[in-house]
Structure 1
Amino acid sequence: MQTNLSPAARELPRAADAERVLRSCVHCGFCNATCPTYQLLGDELDGPRGRIYLIKGMLEGGEVSEKTREHLDRCLTCRNCETTCPSGVSYHELLDIGRAEVERRVPRPLGQRLLRAGLRQVLPQPRLFGALLKGGQTLKPLLPASVQAKLPARIAAPGVRPAPRHARRMLILEGCVQPGLSPNTNAATARVLDRLGISLDAAPRAGCCGAVDYHLNAQEAGLDRARRNIDAWWPALQGGAEAIIQTASGCGAFVKEYASLLKDDPAYAAKAREVSARTRDLVEVLRELPLEELRLKDTPRLAFHCPCTLQHAQRLGGAVEGVLQRLGFPLAPVPDGHLCCGSAGTYSLTQPDLSRRLRDAKLDALESGHPEVIATANIGCQSHLDGAGRTPVRHWIEILDAALAAPTHP
């Protein structure tokens, strides 16, 4: 795509990245065929090609309005279009650049600013989020229906994490909302890996991965969180920890981008490359281990929802399904498995109507094969789908952990 950035746009920190992405687009429109919002709304400007045109026009000096912001806000950042694109357009990079520039040029209404500021203050703080969650459950009958729908109907107790005892050691990112909404996920991960000869180490100084801030257009705040995590993980990585395991695919996708996001930071570029290279989604670790050593007592029929951050960002579509099938779980077919469930980080809160419509369509597809339970790999998807009150939704590692027979200790 021919492009001619305005003098002002050429001064932006990521001007070269914007120009590179714009020039790689050939207008083919294949992206629209798999874009959830284009399929739902039928508006060219609510598909990747239209949003690229909007950003291009803005960076070339064109007018920017609230409608521009609305079309960019409606994007889920599911990156389905990147999986489909024959030209390898890194659409999400351009979207981040475009959203930041729109945010600077078109101030939001007060209500939107307060909502986004509140999300940035609450979600990355596990203790604060956990306290508010407990309060919400206590007062649930008194809360508006829209808020009640966001509160989980059940929270599985985490159980015991095994003490470190193996020579092989890995770190695990605890997450922000996951300790409150699904505290058993990382505990189950520790138990399963312990059986397979890997111990998990805590990194208590690590916090939010930075994705919440970054994708709400507080990009510098998101990068600061990335730097703090690198500092927290670095001593353990240098001390023998093999990898940083992510059980939330959204966090994993963002941490794997630290290398790109901090490539121009002289103090952190090299460390960011190392951290990204040693970040692993849980399935990347488990699929390399001798799963036949695990003894399962129960294998319920599952439908697996592959989060967008796993299949499109990390390109690990089919990986969890492969592990589950190796272990003997019967998998129900899922039509249109590539489409987003509508969670998309904070999207279910900033775009509730579109999010609900996408969720209901996804649940219809997941339930079409009559599963006993729906499995997924990201806390956002898990809580969003489970909030509909239909088929139970759990992280796949919890289902695996629950299916294991009693351990036999050496």
Structure 2
Amino acid sequence: MNAFQRMLRGWEVVHPYNAAQVLELRCPVGVDAASAAWSATMEDMNLGRVEAKVISYRHFGLNGEMSRFPVRLLPPGTCLETYLGDELNRPFSDPGEPPFRPFILPDASSGTFHFGVVYQHWVADSVAVRHMLRRWLERMFRPPAAWKPLRMRHANIGYLGLLELSPGPMEPVQTMLSMIRRHMRYRKARKCKTLGKDDYPVRVIMQDAPGLIGGLTRAAKRLGVKVHDLFLTAATRVCDERIPTQHRKSRTDLAIGSIIDLRPLARGALDDRFGLFLGFAEVISRPDEIKRRHKLLASIARQNHLHRQRGIWPSSVGYLLLAMATRPLVKPSKLYSFFRKETPMIAGVSNVNLSSTWVAEFGDLIAKYRRISPTGPLAPVVFAVTSLGDDLQLSITYRDALLTREQAAELGAAFVTELRSLIAE
């Protein structure tokens, strides 16, 4: 297990750390055919139940036992948001169960079918799960001759190995200085109110923003920033007055995190590794910056540029390792409060563009692709932004002790409005 996985395993003692990905398909899906294809996909990828030890784990094939864990057919009319919220809160408590729960939900109003999988996030990141869904789609809708090679190996590299392969400047002095700077900036960031175990349950809302990506791409090019900088700017502005925080004179800034895929940052190819390779970075904004949209965007773009230049994104691994070193001193029940103090991010943004991936090749089948990210101990609200063609699919996972559903929906609507304002200016 790498540092991120070990941290998430510790969090699961307190609350499930589940994620989900959902395909909205334009063609009907039968539960028997879907179950057969899913079982074959698991066998193709040598996946099954997981046996976890302290710092290592391994997969075991189910050897004909997949019939115990078929694809679940949900009754028509089931609210997808409610179901996903329930599943994110439901632990994988059966040691014989694979860490993946596939399901089908027919949508009578649109004539489409949702095929999704809820999974234990510490076992697999979004890239790994997309490999599973690609093979499932191939088995369901493509002849064997059209299947792409599937050479997924299980991860045998931890973050220390990944650090050695990182192209960023990872000199010990630079890494230590970057962590000290992060710590000092975090000391000025606002903290969310905590309610103990009442903080843990989460809910999900989903919104669509068709035709938005092209405008965001052109705006980013015009302004000399990255599209992700626009997402962070919008998230910072909408969270500023909508997420309740503690009022302290010494803590006036706002921290927003980014989930970072570490696979492209390694010199060795990790695309064919099944596992989880994630880190995080943050941007921290002052009140005067938040009030002025373009000043905020410039600050966020500058911080992210420094992250890339200094190799601080990979150094987030070092930050995690430091947290892991102190974790034995913290009870699992106090883990959330610990991270709320040491990394007080008010929200996180997970941004994935699928337009240049295999997903676009299934445009005849896939109408929408949704990703649902967990909150975990680091951020109480997560914006999962998925781009496919010119359309944006937004999922927001939030702690229902922090926001009502109506407030979360308004947060999502304000996020899209803010993005449109960035395009217009």
TM above 0.5: no
Q: Of Structure 1 and Structure 2, which has the larger fraction of its residues in strand?
A: 2
Higher relative CO (CA 8 A, sep ≥ 6), structure 1 or 2? 2
